[in-house]
Amino acid sequence: AWTGPPPSIGWRAVYDAALDFVVRQQVAKHKAFVWLALHETHKWHKPSVESMRAFSHLSATKPRQVYAAVVRDQDEGLGRLFEGIKRIAALPQNQTLTLYFSDNGPELTNSDPLERLQPDHSECADQGCELVCGTWCSVGSTGGLRGRKRSLFQGGLQTPFFVRWPGFVPAGRSDTTTVTSALDLAPTVLAATGLGGDADARTSDGENMLNAWTNTLAHSDGGGGGGDGAPR
């Protein structure tokens, strides 16, 4: 498993370090697990100069411009990582399981002066960012759901979840009915990789949701919590 830290403090470094780890494991003929915690949409927001220019049409509403820019930076970083993995000839795509998700809804927007723009911040000289901004620029959307981060309403708890596994998970499919949680990740990934067993299911608070991921059956196997099922 990759534990970091990245070799430098530049925003692109974490993606390059993750790819380097996967490459080294393939050379050594080892399986690899990477948990990549992304920072761009958290304070402090540090958008790149290139991404700020790409969203210059939003400059009249600076928080929107900054947030759009950091999302673009994250998208570019993930693209670098995925394209790099595709180029590993010894790693078939159907042997690469990718999960993308958030641990909570968007941060509360804070207009406090200390959370506003900090142009010419000293860190930007090393990291290639144009400015630094706190939660004044945290303008992520809940898609109309009530509440945000730290709230027990849906806007604080319900987040997007993407699964990519060529040959197993149908591309382009959207599931808006299955109810799952982060507790289900471990037993489901263990089942997908063939590393999990009945003992793992009995000792986990989560459930194996692989059937829902692969669209073979849109509910869990009811295995978690000793057969009683985790509360939903």
pLDDT digit of tens for each residue in the chain (232 aa)?
666 666 556 678 889 999 999 999 999 999 889 999 898 999 889 999 999 999 999 999 999 999 999 999 999 999 999 999 999 978 888 899 999 999 999 999 999 999 999 877 777 777 778 889 999 999 999 999 999 999 999 999 999 999 999 999 999 999 989 999 999 999 999 999 988 766 555 678 899 999 999 987 545 455 444 444 444 4
Say whether both 188 and 148 belong to one domain: no
> What region does 32 belong to: left with phi over 0, alpha with psi -120 to 50, or beta?
beta
CATH code (residue 137): 3.40.720.10
- The total of structural domains in the chain comes to 2
Same domain membership, residue 52 and residue 126: yes
Phi, psi of 99 (to 5 degrees): -120, 135
Q: Answer yes or no: do 54 and 131 share one domain.
A: yes
What's the pLDDT at 7? 56
Separation CA 15–CA 82 (nearest Å): 10
Question: What's the CA gap between 230 and 77, in Å, rounded?
Answer: 35
pTM (2 d.p.): 0.85
53 to 40, 47, 48, 124: CA distances (angstroms): 17, 10, 9, 16
Which bin fits 93, alpha (ψ -120 to 50), beta or left (φ > 0)?
Answer: alpha
Residue pointed to by tokens 């860190």: 123
- 18 lies in the same domain as 115: yes
- CA-closest candidate to residue 100, choices 158, 42, 162: 162
Of 36, 45, 40, 39, whose CA–CA distance to 17 is shortest? 36
137 and 30 within one domain: yes
* Contact assessment for residue 224 and residue 205, using Cβ atoms and an 8 Å cutoff: yes
At 168, the amino acid letter reads: F
Q: Are 32 and 18 in contact (CB under 8 A)?
A: no
Model pLDDT, residue 3: 66
C-alpha torsion 190→97→34→45, nearest 10: -130
**Residue 149: predicted pLDDT:** 95
Q: Cβ distance 124 to 46 under 8 Å?
A: yes
The whole domain housing 98 covers: 13-167
Domain-located, residue 60? yes
- Supply the pLDDT for residue 4: 64
- Please give the pLDDT value at position 227: 44
Gap between the Cα atoms of 73 and 48, Å rounded: 7
* DSSP code per residue over 91-160: S-GGG--EEEE-SSSPPPP---GGGS-EET-TTHHHH-BSEEB-GGG-----TT-S--TT-SSHHHH---
184 and 152 belong to one structural domain = no
